[in-house]
Amino acid sequence: MSKLKTTDQEIYKLIKQEEKRQKEVLEMIPSENYTSSAVMEALGSVLTNKYSEGYAKKRYYQGNAVIDEVELLAEARAKKLFGVPYVNVQAYSGSPANTAVYFALLTPLKDKIMGLNLAFGGHLTHGASVSFSGKYFKTVPYALSKEGLLDYEEIEKTALKEKPQIIVCGATAYPRIIDFKKFGQIADKVGSYLLADISHITGLIIGGVHPSPVAYAHIVTTTTHKTLRGPRGAMIMVTEKGIKKNPDLTTLIDKAVFPGLQGGPHDNQTAAIAVALKEAEMPEFKKYAKQIVLNSKVLAAELIKFGFKLVSNGSDNHLILIDLSNKKVNGALAAYALEAANIVLNKNAVPNDIMPPFYPSGIRLGTPALTTRGMKEKEMKKIANWINEVIEQIKGEELPTNREARSAFWKVFKKKVVRDEKILSIAKEVKKMALNFSLP
Ligand SMILES: Cc1ncc(COP(=O)(O)O)c(C=O)c1O
């Protein structure tokens, strides 16, 4: 008998509902994944009861002998997997990890961060004006070329002119390989720190299907819950190059995380990160990473056959960005209709988008979660076909530009979509296929 069921029926029911949803749909949000039951066991363990402010062997509370071992194990596994001399595993999540790096190295309102523009696929914490990173620091964004690619010449020109203290590379919505070597050369020319935020592609790097930034960046941050398949969390790594540039870098980062930004670390989360890292050391993880990319490439090629316009014309990693403007369908409408068909992805801005962020022109989708369930090329072909059928079904639904008309339109559109027979029949087929692939 479930203890939760007797203690809190409402939460129990909601969790069961969410579990059912996760089983029945195709989760294609590229930043999501399914953790293993081993990771969840660590996450739900007694380690959640402990307070352990400080670092191993230097805690502010008693009773941390076991926690010290857990944290040191997580650090040792990360160091080995990434080939770095230092790692901090205490940041609560990706955004606090990036915040800690800025707090460690920058003077607020004076120093400058240069990162990929949010509207072009950068993360909020890479200097977006709506985030602390753009409010408390000076920023200079870089964009993508009109082909949707990183333009290293332009980035170098801007960096030399603006002289940012930190250059951030890494993205939230970039479907291609990132040339970390070029970024490293640019940062060295300018004298900047290079921060590689590999949150999205960390599993691909460990799996050997995306180059690693470790030889070129001074600091590497990553979330642990995306392609790495761990719990929500993050790691901050300092490379040999980073220590050479600033021998105090590791101390500065440790101090920025605690006591600078956080209190006690989430020890259950640290243990779960350690488990995920152990799983990522296994040979099967390499196969998994390879299959993520293979699936993404096949899906991209199939979508192109249906006339979809892909930003950068394809995908080298786990992610695809579709510009729907040639299909005359808005990204928000597409994401809604696809969810009604049990295909879950997100609306997303495309480079030089003329639409507002809530109604962007594109959608973003990826293969990490589906690959965890064991889906392969055959399933990707079916999915491309379903995506095309759904988009064809809502073609011609024009989103009014006027705000009030837009909200009235939405209400009617939503009702129409959930009653659409074609979409309902696709939803049934999708669910049937999804249920053939179990969750880990
Ligand atoms: C590149 C990148 N960095 C940082 C983050 C922030 O992670 P979190 O949502 O855990 O704060 C994300 C999240 O999507 C991301 O894509």
pLDDT in tens, 123-147: 999 999 999 999 999 999 999 998 9
Q: Average the pLDDT over 92-118 and give the result.
A: 98
In this prediction, what percent of the chain has a pLDDT beyond 90? 96
- Is residue 153 annotated as a catalytic residue, yes or no? no
CA–centroid distance, residue 304 to ligand 1 (Å): 28
- 192 CB under 6 A from ligand 1? no
The residue from 232, 406, 416, 431 that is catalytic is: 232
What does pTM read for this prediction?
A: 0.97
Q: Average the pLDDT over 4-9 and give the result.
A: 96
- Is residue 51 annotated as a catalytic residue, yes or no? yes
- 364 CB under 6 A from ligand 1? no
- 95 CB under 6 A from ligand 1? yes
- 346 CB under 6 A from ligand 1? no
Q: How confident is the model at residue 407 (pLDDT cuts 50, 70, 90)?
A: confident
The residue from 222, 223, 239, 372 that is catalytic is: 223
CA–centroid distance, residue 257 to ligand 1 (Å): 17
User: What pLDDT is stored for residue 2 in this prediction?
Assistant: 87
User: What pLDDT is stored for residue 403 in this prediction?
Assistant: 83
Q: Which of 297, 307, 295, 294 lies closest to 388, judged by CA? A: 307
- Scanning the structure block, which residue is given the tokens 């997100």? 346
Query: Is-contact 151 183, C-beta < 8 A?
Result: no
Query: Is-contact 118 128, C-beta < 8 A?
Result: yes
Query: Is-contact 340 418, C-beta < 8 A?
Result: yes
CA–centroid distance, residue 225 to ligand 1 (Å): 9
Which residue's alpha carbon is nearest to atom 15 within ligand 1? Answer: 172
Pocket residue to mutate for ligand 1, from 95, 124, 222, most atoms within 8 A of Cβ = 95
